[in-house]
Amino acid sequence: MAKLSRRKFLASAAGAAALTQTLGHYSTSAQRSPGVYIGYRDTPEITTAKIGFIPVTSCCPLIIAKAKGFFAKYGMPDVEVAKQPSWAVMRDKLMLGSENGGLDGGHLLFPMAYLMATGEITYGRKVPMYILARLNLNGQGVSVSNAYKDLKLGVNSSPLKSIFAQKAKSGKNLLCAIPYRRVTGDFFMRWWLADGGIDPERDVSLIVVPPPQMVANMRAGSMEAFCVVDPWHQRLIKEGIGYSTVTSGELWNNHPEKALAVRADWVDKYPKAAKALLAAVLEAQMWCDRADNKEEMFQIVSQRQWIGMNTDLIRDRILGKFDYGNGRVIENSPHAIKFWRESASYPYKSHDLWFLIEDMRWGYRSPEFETKPLIEAVNREDLWREAAKLIGQEKAIPPSTSRGVEKFFNGLKFDPENPQAYLISTNL
């Protein structure tokens, strides 16, 4: 297990004091009454918004909300859903906002909303963001090059330890790709490596590669492994370049994944439009999870302006059929991507707390950092509840903003009521 390095701790601790001082800005907006939007039933202030997405399967609800007319249904027919080439470009366009040629919101790796709000990934400039909904649970995984096919790797990465050590001695730089730093894909790669005795800080180099470029980089022989969202694993297997070792649901079943994140200033300026936008996405998530809609969804999202990949590369894993590419095939997996069922859409604050604690685990953030003010500022589960009522889904509203104790593949547990216990257990 990784330990908090002194260098990283000092760096994060130095930033923590400055970040804590900025939280006063967030607390004002976070303390608004949870029912402030109750009673708004007239039309949205505007009919448009510009929303970005990356072409991976977790973006399906945004595509469907546009293609099936759900945005129009709630009074926003001019919403633009625009493909972006990488998470870094998405971040930069969210910094700009649509008024300056950027984006109002997007399909986002949910920790990025926090890292933008604090200015940690936005060049020191704080860009207040709201998480309005989760877009999905599960959906990621780790794949490796066919150079390791004889190892038949699965959840256990330890067979790689001695091989990596030998290659490192010969001077090879061992590259493992992640979609972005300090997000679920980064942490899942670290979990998988560390559990097999491979230090993700010293034994390999973690590099950031945009999801659409993962397979090409593996084909070029420049990487040993990658962690990314589907359908890129299936593309890798189809081309005979590598195979999947583990799905992220096997590491943490029903883990939170992407979010609908929107600039706070846009939501505050257009509260009725924000509620309409959210209602449309929630209804699209419900649509995506209905079995009788799946084939139509595959036909829509496979189109060039959306994910732009053949339906046979998208279909199986969404339906729960996992061909790992090494002879292992699982039918009806419980770890398939979920858009609405099992409270997939609800933005539990306990999951945001997990992210901040995990951030501490790997030395990115001081253990003394005050998590609650930031979570209250970014997580707008109150708006989710109002949108759920608007679409007649009161029964879908969970009784708590915590999903309770989370259990992971390695025996560790995360209790939102005692997050420090998890942090301590990871440093043993």
pLDDT digits (tens, 9 = 90+) for 262-303: 999 999 999 999 999 999 999 999 999 999 999 999 999 999
Say yes or no to pLDDT of 193 above 50. yes
Hey, is 323 helix, strand or coil? strand
User: Alpha-carbon distance 91 to 96, whole Å?
Assistant: 9
User: Alpha-carbon distance 22 to 11, whole Å?
Assistant: 17
Say yes or no to pLDDT of 221 above 90. yes
- Which pLDDT score, from 0 to 100, does residue 128 have? 98
**pLDDT tier for residue 64 given thresholds of 50, 70 and 90:** very high
Q: How many CB atoms lie within 10 A of CB 87?
A: 23
- Which pLDDT score, from 0 to 100, does residue 6 have? 36
Residue 119 tokens, joined: 């200015």
Residue 117 tokens, joined: 């709000």
Average pLDDT over residues 229-238: 95
Percent of the chain with pLDDT over 70: 90
User: Alpha-carbon distance 415 to 7, whole Å?
Assistant: 28
User: Alpha-carbon distance 415 to 354, whole Å?
Assistant: 9
Whether omega before 231 lies within 30 degrees of 0, making that bond cis, reads yes
Say yes or no to pLDDT of 37 above 80. no
- The partner residues of 129 in beta bridges, in order of sequence, read 263
CA quadruple 59, 64, 69, 72: dihedral, nearest 10: -20
Average pLDDT over residues 23-34: 40
- Which pLDDT score, from 0 to 100, does residue 21 have? 44
Residue of 336, 172, 326 lying closest to 253 (CA atoms): 336
Average pLDDT over residues 196-209: 97
Average pLDDT over residues 61-71: 98
Averaged pLDDT score across all residues of the chain: 91
- Which pLDDT score, from 0 to 100, does residue 38 have? 36
Say yes or no to pLDDT of 362 above 50. yes
- Which pLDDT score, from 0 to 100, does residue 42 have? 67
Q: pLDDT tens digits, residue range 318-359?
A: 999 999 999 999 999 999 999 999 999 999 999 999 999 999
- Which pLDDT score, from 0 to 100, does residue 428 have? 57
- Which pLDDT score, from 0 to 100, does residue 33 have? 34
- Which pLDDT score, from 0 to 100, does residue 16 have? 40
Residue 24 tokens, joined: 């006063």
- The partner residues of 262 in beta bridges, in order of sequence, read 105, 130
**pLDDT tier for residue 427 given thresholds of 50, 70 and 90:** confident
Write out the H or E segment, with its range, that includes residue 80.
Answer: strand 80-83
Residue in this structure with the two tokens 């050590």, named with its chain if needed: 165
Cross-sheet strand order for the sheet of 258-263: 80-83, 50-53, 105-109, 258-263, 129-134
Say yes or no to pLDDT of 39 above 60. no
Say yes or no to pLDDT of 403 above 60. yes
Say yes or no to pLDDT of 18 above 70. no
User: Which phi and psi angles does 270 have, rounded to 5°?
Assistant: -125, 70
- Please report the beta strands in 175-332, taking only residues with DSSP state E, as ranges in sequence order: 175-178, 205-208, 225-229, 242-247, 258-263, 322-323, 329-330
Write out the H or E segment, with its range, that includes residue 219.
Answer: helix 214-219
- The partner residues of 362 in beta bridges, in order of sequence, read none
Hey, is 258 helix, strand or coil? strand
User: Alpha-carbon distance 283 to 104, whole Å?
Assistant: 20
User: Alpha-carbon distance 402 to 208, whole Å?
Assistant: 31
Give the pTM: 0.91
